[in-house]
Amino acid sequence: MQLYNKLSAKERAELIEKAGKDRLTLSFYQYAKIANPHEFRDHLFVVWDQLDVLGRIYVAVEGINAQLSLPADRFNEFKTHLDTIDFLKGVRLNIAVEQDNMSFLKLKVKVRNKIVADGLNDDSFDVTNKGVHVGANDFNALIEDENTILVDMRNHYESEIGHFKNAITPDVDTFRESLDIIEDDLRDHKEDKNLVMYCTGGIRCEKASAYFKHKGFKNVYQLEGGIIEYTRQVNEQNIENKFIGKNFVFDERRAEKISDDVIAQCHQCGKPADVHTNCANDACHLLFIQCDDCKEDMNNCCSVTCKEIHALPYEEQKALRKGQGNSNDIFKKGRADHLPYKKDLRNIFEVLMSNKQ
């Protein structure tokens, strides 16, 4: 019985190309009590591998967080299988705004301590006492209210290429960092302001809203289904779109265009740009924003040093990396001293908060 992916990304891409079928990219999550996450993980892999599902799925005792793609003509089979699982019956599926057959190239189902790395002790507060979920129409009305503070619960590299108008975008690398920053900066508005939050698909706000209610915030709201569901409702119901730029996604597409606005800039030259790339140097792989001109000039690298290394024969590159481990840049998201045009979001946060007071 196959319980793990056995094909490389290249081999899988060739199979997808040969099959010639359209694939559907989607995501979903659900908090639930899973008694044996390892057994549940194996069950999902066996069934989904047979359905040609590819993606990144995290399973924990607290639930499941899934981002995946599958052949469009097998969607009903996939949905039928979800409905056989009690806590996933009728779960909301966030269908991607922009489809790409190569969004995922491997099936990875992993057991984790948590389905989102929030660093919180869930026993210290009631995680089920969540904020009010609002759809696109009510969300638009709320964020126009002068008593509302709108907060982006995503990380700096996500909000840099797209966010809601007038949103506070904390300059953080992790979700956990943002919780303390937001509580501290909004401590004087726990009772007199509406705290409205959003994220990519809604999962981070599920935990954050309960956390902020535990911390004393009285009026807490969250965007139902996140930016993905908001965009679907905007398009289907002809609602005014208040999101500008792109929505960062964690697959090979990297982003979905929500509006035609380009609000970010190339980290190397400062030209308008909003396409993330990983440095081509295998010892770096820094995630950063690069325009087409710099991509050509720098050979898809983040620095002259990386460009020179990337130009070396593969065996020489490999020898340089030997015994050194991965560069710390692999784990950075646009944080590097040699990127002169990385936007600093901390000042944005301070200005927005001063305008709210």
Q: Report the candidate in 88, 78, 17, 4 with the shortest Cα–Cα distance to residue 48.
A: 78
Split the chain (357 residues) into runs of 10 and give each run's mean pLDDT: 86 94 96 96 97 97 96 97 97 94 96 91 87 97 96 95 94 90 92 96 94 96 97 96 96 94 96 95 92 97 95 90 59 76 58 50
Q: How far is CA 229 from CA 26, 96, 154, 285, 294, in A?
A: 11, 9, 16, 31, 34
Q: Give a yes or no: residue 264 inside a domain.
A: no
Put simply, whether the predicted model's pTM sits higher than 0.75 gets the answer yes
Q: Are strands 243-248 and 162-164 parallel, antiparallel or unpaired?
A: antiparallel
What single string gives the DSSP state of each residue in 321-339? HTTT---GGGG-BS--TT-
The one catalytic residue in 199, 205, 284, 301 is 199
Based on the domain organization, do 229 and 351 belong to the same domain?
yes
Q: Give the per-residue pLDDT at 118.
A: 86
Based on the domain organization, do 297 and 226 belong to the same domain?
no
Residue 308: give the domain boundaries.
276-331
Q: Give a yes or no: residue 82 inside a domain.
A: yes
Q: What is the CATH number of the domain that holds 89?
A: 3.30.70.100
Is 199 tagged catalytic? yes
Q: Which pairs from 83-91 meet CB under 8 Å and 24+ separation?
A: 87/30, 87/32, 87/63, 88/28, 88/30, 88/64, 91/28, 91/30
- Give me the number of domains the chain comprises: 3
Exposure of 188 in the CB half-sphere (CA atoms within 13 A): 5
Q: Give a yes or no: residue 268 inside a domain.
A: no
